[in-house]
A and B are shown apart, each in its own frame.
Chain A
Amino acid sequence: MADYALIDGYLESMRSSIRWRRDLDDVIAEIEDHLISATERFEARGSDRVNAQQRTLDEFGDPKVLAVAFASTPKGGIAVPTTFTKSAGLFAIVGAVAWIIGLIAIAIAAGLPDATGVDPDQFVANGQTVFFIIGSMSLLVAGALMFVTMIGLYRRHGSLGILGIAGLGVTALGVLTLLIAWAFALWMTLIGAGVLLFSISLLRRDLSPRLWTVVWGAGMAVGAVTWYVLRWLEVGDPDQWGDYPLAVAFALPVGVIIMAIGLIGIGRWLRGEQPVDLTPSEPLATA
């Protein structure tokens, strides 16, 4: 658009200011249509091309102010990627790895070596205890990192309403119960319910990648439901405490692996966004 140099420059500035929008090309196309329509109208009234563009841009508004309007949520939050949300993406990926490490360590400690013929005592003295401690710590770290990721997701969306807050609260409770790592059913249920609620609130905002949000949100809930079903079916032999190890041995990997895969997807999305610095103001219209 050689004839519309001012508008071209403005659109570039606008594109940079709202680059986090998934529908960026559509928004820019809509703004471009507006600016050229308005310019043509001013020209029809006698302005030259340069003056017509300048008047149009003056009426349209400062890109930085408009960027706040495009980022504002109905409840006044600002939904943009920041350095914190980008960091949260890294926490998500590290957290997912920690979930898997915790799962493997717990599996070794819980007697998977017996099934595979590998004796943990070959690795370290009193191996099962060591592996159980490694597993417990890894799960705790994984839960904490995932919770920080959820804070990042909350801030990325500006706000998430009561469902999102409820999800955060239930997940926080679940992460705390990871201190009792062997209480699998309890923390799987709490984390499964919390992350499920939270991911539903994400899906309602339609901002995060839908596939990874569904996978992450459903993962631990599926694991918990699997445990309850297998427990109800009394699959395998009960141990001395009346639990069904086979139910845990099947349900825990299902929940952790699916959730970790989704968490990595979410983390990659957060990591991939370029942070922007918007000063909150009080825009008239909110997106």
Chain B
Amino acid sequence: MGDAIRLVVNGTSVSVPAGTMVSTAVAMAGSSLFRRSVSGEARGPLCGMGICFECRVTINGRAHCRSCQVPCEAGMEVRTDG
């Protein structure tokens, strides 16, 4: 594991090892809900490999990023649906 990276998930600072994906950082921040479905259901990652789009979050203001495909970067700001 590389050096720790700090990023912000839903306003809370999280420290993760370098190479960690955003999906994992969100889970480590204690959130199992990543997005709300079109009918309002809670959803989280399913496939872990960029196929299902269930792990979509907002990263640095850009909506609908597949968090399982994006490595964490220092200072990143991540938001899940409420």
The answer to whether A and B belong to the same complex is no
B residues bordering A, Cβ < 8 Å?
none
